[in-house]
Chains A and B, each alone.
Chain A
Amino acid sequence: DAKTTQPPSMDCAEGRAANLPCNHSTISGNEYVYWYRQIHSQGPQYIIHGLKNNETNEMASLIITEDRKSSTLILPHATLRDTAVYYCITNSRHDKIIFGKGTRLHILP
């Protein structure tokens, strides 16, 4: 089961695109990449997931490299409400879900 590596914190100016990287170099061929975020002390919220292809929904875009060893979550127009901790995890067995410490994203006004 893959483990992910994320920078502990990032800053982004309001209105700009926020690009959050994630390394998952040991990901297995059938494992998905999932992104969640946790605003303040609320429960984590699902954002997006993908396997090989790039994905987009109303919240964000997910870019996965061709070798699948890394991915980038893109928030196209960051707002102050996007300030949160962002977790990148690989979809794996029920007993092997590893959230890690995530990336604390600060949106600067």
Chain B
Amino acid sequence: NAGVTQTPKFRVLKTGQSMTLLCAQDMNHEYMYWYRQDPGMGLRLIHYSVGEGTTAKGEVPDGYNVSRLKKQNFLLGLESAAPSQTSVYFCASSQGQGTTTGELFFGEGSRLTVL
């Protein structure tokens, strides 16, 4: 029962470096999401995907890019990391119900620190 798996779980970057976070789900879900969570805050949606080959912007997309080349994977990229991107990143997936989300299944998070 893997569910939603995120790699890596921890990463430290220097300002200006690039990196990719990988999210993999084994539930054949159509919809996938990337959130960030800052201390004392709720989750904010970065980007999402409603199916293989599709991506869309969420609430806070600037500084991030995503790709969904395979249905089971959703990649989040930082081209030039900034200290403001220090956060915990959560991936989620759902089967969806028409245009609405349905139950979200979350990964355990990826802690990113940008120095």
Residues of chain A touching chain B, judged by Cβ–Cβ distance below 8 Å, are 31-32, 34, 36, 41-46, 49, 87, 91-95, 97-102
User: Does B101 contact A94, Cβ atoms closer than 8 Å?
Assistant: yes
User: Does B104 contact A36, Cβ atoms closer than 8 Å?
Assistant: yes
CB distance from B3 to the nearest CB of A (A): 9
Give chain A residues whose Cβ lies under 8 Å from the Cβ of B45: 95, 97
User: Does B33 contact A94, Cβ atoms closer than 8 Å?
Assistant: yes
Q: Which secondary structure characterizes the binding site on chain A?
A: loop
A95 to B33, CA, bound (A): 9
User: Does A94 contact B31, Cβ atoms closer than 8 Å?
Assistant: yes
Give chain B residues whose Cβ lies under 8 Å from the Cβ of A87: 42
Does B99 have its Cβ within 8 Å of any Cβ on chain A?
A: yes
CB 8 Å contact bits of B41-56 with A (1 = contact, 0 = none): 1111100101000001
Nearest 6 pairs of A and B residues by beta carbon? A43-B106, A99-B42, A99-B43, A100-B42, A46-B103, A101-B42
Size of the chain B interface, CB-CB below 8 angstroms: 32
Give chain B residues whose Cβ lies under 8 Å from the Cβ of A42: 108-109
User: Does B103 contact A43, Cβ atoms closer than 8 Å?
Assistant: no
User: Does B42 contact A41, Cβ atoms closer than 8 Å?
Assistant: no
- Please give me the residue from chain A that is nearest to B108 by CB atom: A43
CB distance from B30 to the nearest CB of A (A): 10
- Looking at the complex, which one of A32, A46, A95, A97 makes contact with B56 (CB distance below 8 Å)? A95
Does B1 have its Cβ within 8 Å of any Cβ on chain A?
A: no
A93 to B56, CA, bound (A): 12
Give chain A residues whose Cβ lies under 8 Å from the Cβ of B88: 41
- Looking at the complex, which one of B4, B35, B100, B106 makes contact with A91 (CB distance below 8 Å)? B100
A41 to B40, CA, bound (A): 11
User: Does B104 contact A94, Cβ atoms closer than 8 Å?
Assistant: no
Give chain B residues whose Cβ lies under 8 Å from the Cβ of A45: 106
User: Does B40 contact A101, Cβ atoms closer than 8 Å?
Assistant: yes
